[in-house]
Structure 1
Amino acid sequence: MIIYGSLVSPFVRKLLAYLGEKGIAFELKGVGIADPDPGFRAASPLGKMPAMEDDGFTLADSSAIIHYLEAKYPEPALIPRDPQERGRVIWWDEFGDTVFAACSGKMFFNRIVAPNFLGREGDLAAAAQAEAEELPKLLTYLESAVPASGFLVGDRLTLADLAVASPLMNLRHCGCGVDAAAYPKIAAWSEAILSRPSLAPWIAKEERMIAKVLAPTS
């Protein structure tokens, strides 16, 4: 199995964590925005990442890939079979992929990606607005929703945890980590998820890459 994507994408990060938790072997091929790699383009004609090639079968979009893999490799289940828990996991996956990733993306893209990877000025006003107006509302909601179990759904890790924790890493790259005093439940929960063996090695690679890009040139 080949996965195409960039380590700093929250959607790629979510998928890599899922694969790690499931114990599924894969090869990661790094690609960037508008990458002409023919394998990536064949798997994702619209350039959406991550993309996958699995024994000739291709698919793009992290959630689509994960639902495919969950059907192919049902154990350990990261999408519960219980109807209510399953519905809640799908909701959290949608939350992480849409409003939460969109908010963190405004900061990460405009402050990190645009100036350092694309060589153009980012929209810093949009990033500042997202940080000041959008992010507090989302974090307040998430703080109220993190249960005592330490997992978003049920009493064990699910896709919900991976999907929502992943965009938090992009916030951390921007220097906007979660304030533990203001959001203690999010801080404890996200630290536990992001430090799991399925995520920690990839995050370490990300941090080295970001640090290298941001390092001042002589």
Structure 2
Amino acid sequence: MKLYGGLLSPFVRKVAVVLEEKGLDWELVSISPNTPDPDFNAASPFGKIPALCDGDFSLADSSAIAIYLDAKYPSSPMLPVEPTARGKAMWFDEYADTILGASGLKIVFNRLVGPKLFKLPGNEELASQGEAELPRILDYLEGVAPAQGWLDGDFSLGDISVASMLTTMNYAGHGPNAAAYPRTAAWYDRVAARPSWTTVAAMEAPLAERLAALA
């Protein structure tokens, strides 16, 4: 099984952790604009990461991939069966991707990815806008983060998605802040201690070192 993308992406990391939680054999295939990959292009016709190739089947979009993996490989389920729990897991996945990410990635792209990785000018106005939006969004997460355990009872896709977005934001200095958001930070630490997460983090370590050197 091939996962296309890079682990700086919260969406690629999300799928990588799901694959590890399920104990599946997979490989990460880096994508570069200078080295087009026909299998990636077939899996993701609009060039978005991540994309997954599982035998003859291919699919793009992190949430769609996670749902597919949970249906095809039901061991260690990432989406609950019970309707309310399943709905909450999908809500946290959506919150991570389109609410937390919508603000946090303004900072990541305009202060880190653009100027430091690709030597392109960032839009400081957008980055500042993202910063201004974050307190309300993070206050919500602090209010729902449990004192123990996971966001949705059992560990689920929701935990992975939110923690993955916070990890990417942390590269730009906006990760879990224990002083301001102690419940969120404690929950995040529990996620980060899972074997699936530590395995992916080890794969990501060279990138983390490179980004630290650019800071």
Tell me the TM-score normalized by structure 2.
0.93
| Equivalent pair of 1:7/1:30 in contact (CA under 8 Å) | no
> Counterpart of 2:188?
190
CA distance in 1, matches of 2:174, 2:205: 14
CA distance in 1, matches of 2:43, 2:184: 35
> Counterpart of 1:118?
118
TM superposition shift of 1:214: 5.4
| Equivalent pair of 1:6/1:32 in contact (CA under 8 Å) | no
Between 30-39 and 112-121, the greater mean CA deviation after superposition: 30-39
> Counterpart of 1:100?
100
Alignment of 1:61-140 (within 5 A): 61-131=61-131, 133-140=132-139
CA distance in 2, matches of 1:127, 1:35: 30
| Distance change in 2, residues 1:73/1:117 (3 Å) | same
Q: Tell me which amino acid in the other structure corresponds to 1:144.
A: G
TM superposition shift of 1:176: 2.0
Instruction: State the superposition RMSD in angstroms.
Output: 1.7
| Equivalent pair of 1:2/1:26 in contact (CA under 8 Å) | yes
Q: Tell me which amino acid in the other structure corresponds to 1:93.
A: D
Q: Where do 4+ consecutive residues of structure 1 move more than 6 Å?
A: none
> Counterpart of 1:16?
16
Deviations 1:196-215 (A, max 9, x none): 22122333443432432553
Give identity over the alignment, percent: 45
| Equivalent pair of 2:8/2:207 in contact (CA under 8 Å) | no
TM superposition shift of 1:145: 0.7
Q: Tell me which amino acid in the other structure corresponds to 1:152.
A: L
CA distance in 1, matches of 2:173, 2:210: 15
TM superposition shift of 1:124: 1.8
Gaps of at least 5 residues in structure 2 are none
Deviations 1:66-109 (A, max 9, x none): 11111111122110000110111111111111111121111111
> Counterpart of 2:147?
148
Equivalences, count:
214
Q: Tell me which amino acid in the other structure corresponds to 1:184.
A: P
Partner SS state of residue 199, structure 1 = helix
CA distance in 2, matches of 1:90, 1:34: 35
> Counterpart of 2:52?
52
Partner SS state of residue 52, structure 1 = strand
Tell me the TM-score normalized by structure 1.
0.91
TM superposition shift of 1:143: 0.4
> Counterpart of 1:174?
172
| Distance change in 2, residues 1:211/1:111 (3 Å) | farther
Q: Tell me which amino acid in the other structure corresponds to 1:61.
A: D
CA distance in 2, matches of 1:118, 1:165: 25
Gaps of at least 5 residues in structure 1 are none
TM superposition shift of 1:167: 0.7
TM superposition shift of 1:111: 1.1
| Equivalent pair of 2:148/2:187 in contact (CA under 8 Å) | no
Q: Tell me which amino acid in the other structure corresponds to 1:145.
A: V
